[in-house]
Amino acid sequence: VASDNSSIKRSSIPKPNSIDVHHHLIPDFYRKALSKLNIKAAGGFPLPAWSPLQSQRLMNNFGIGTAILSISSPGIHFGDDAAARDISRQSNEYCAKVISDNPSRFGAFAVLPLPDVNGSLKEAEYALDTLKLDGVVMLASQSDGTFLGDNKYDDLLAELDKRKTVVFIHPTTHPTSKELQLNIPEGFIEFPFDTSRAAFNLVWTGAAERYSKIRYIFSHAGGTVPFLAGRFSLLDYDYRFRKRAPLGAMAYLKRFYYDLALSANPYALRSLQELVGPEQILYGSDNPFANSYLVSAGIDFINKYDGYSDDDRKLIFRSNALKLLPRLQKLTES
């Protein structure tokens, strides 16, 4: 772990208040691994600078008591299972060290070497049982083009279901998106659709029914899920779909959790409010991909938004995350 952690005195760290479930890490070893593959951007933008100290400075500035770290797009699997397993293990052990240095300030979702299912099963066991990380992060789509919900992932989902795991789903650029003749950075258009396809596919394939104990958090207010939920629910009239999803599409979409990273605006929140109540919504900053201006603007909007009461904001900024993440709850109680 970088030595910059030590420059912040423990006595100066405030007690946790807001909990940020959408907070990324870009450690040097990961950046170097990407550079060797000539990958220097994510979502159409250069990889930003990051360190644990950078995170803590931003957290202190914006009242974030605890940040849950996760690897973002472009992920860790680029066709080589062994290389992906190595990066996932290195990343998860790095996160465990960051947490050990500052247990009240950081948590982490373990990255898995998907679409390598066997490697992911082994890494999930190690990360959750040995490292005691707070859940797992999965990209909505994988390097082989498959989406979460594909039956090739059933064994992994079954294991995570037994553990009642928190699964944080983050978008990436699907292989087919690279063929589109658009010059818009993928993070603005392709990411929301990638998230939406994963959410809808989990319901469509019946995975959300079969593995109902998994607690999913979907990034960026679910992408386009709130807006398209009504259209998707028309599938309820298809008896084949109802056999896989007997509760009806809307019931499963309403079970999911949604974070507000880069989505604290009236267009997203009005639609999200129609889908789920405040008890299913979590705060996320998207640091370091979101700069301080965007983080400040997002928090300010949530605090002023007329659709939420003060009690709703307490749920969004803190209480909902505490219910999902038992380790943080224990820290608070102690």
The residue among 108, 134, 103, 97 whose CA lies nearest residue 13 is: 103
pLDDT band for position 330 (50/70/90)?
Answer: confident
Q: Which residue has the higher pLDDT, 183 or 160?
A: 160
Average pLDDT for 51-59: 97
Q: Is the pLDDT of residue 4 over 90?
A: no
Return the pLDDT at 333.
64
Could you report the per-residue pLDDT of 120-134, keeping only the tens digit for each? 999 999 999 999 999
Q: Is the pLDDT of residue 37 over 60?
A: yes
Average pLDDT for 74-84: 96
Copy the structure tokens of residue 8.
């912040």
Copy the structure tokens of residue 156.
């992994």
302 and 2 Cβ atoms separated by less than 8 Å: no
The residue among 248, 253, 266 whose CA lies nearest residue 218 is: 253
Percent of the chain at pLDDT > 70 equals 94
Average pLDDT for 180-202: 95
DSSP string for residues in 269-312: HHHHHHH--GGGEE----BTTS-HHHHHHHHHHHHH-TT--HHH
Q: Is the pLDDT of residue 15 over 70?
A: no
pLDDT band for position 6 (50/70/90)?
Answer: very low
Instruction: Name the average pLDDT for the chain.
Output: 93
Q: Is the pLDDT of residue 8 over 80?
A: no
pLDDT band for position 10 (50/70/90)?
Answer: very low
The residue among 122, 90, 127 whose CA lies nearest residue 109 is: 127
Return the pLDDT at 270.
97
145 CB neighbour count, 10 Å cutoff: 11
Could you report the per-residue pLDDT of 219-275, keeping only the tens digit for each? 999 999 999 999 999 999 999 999 999 999 999 999 999 999 999 999 999 999 999
Average pLDDT for 211-226: 98
Percent of the chain at pLDDT > 90 equals 90
Q: Is the pLDDT of residue 334 over 60?
A: no
Average pLDDT for 78-105: 97
Return the pLDDT at 331.
77
Q: Output the CA torsion 274→161→334→99 (10° steps).
A: -100
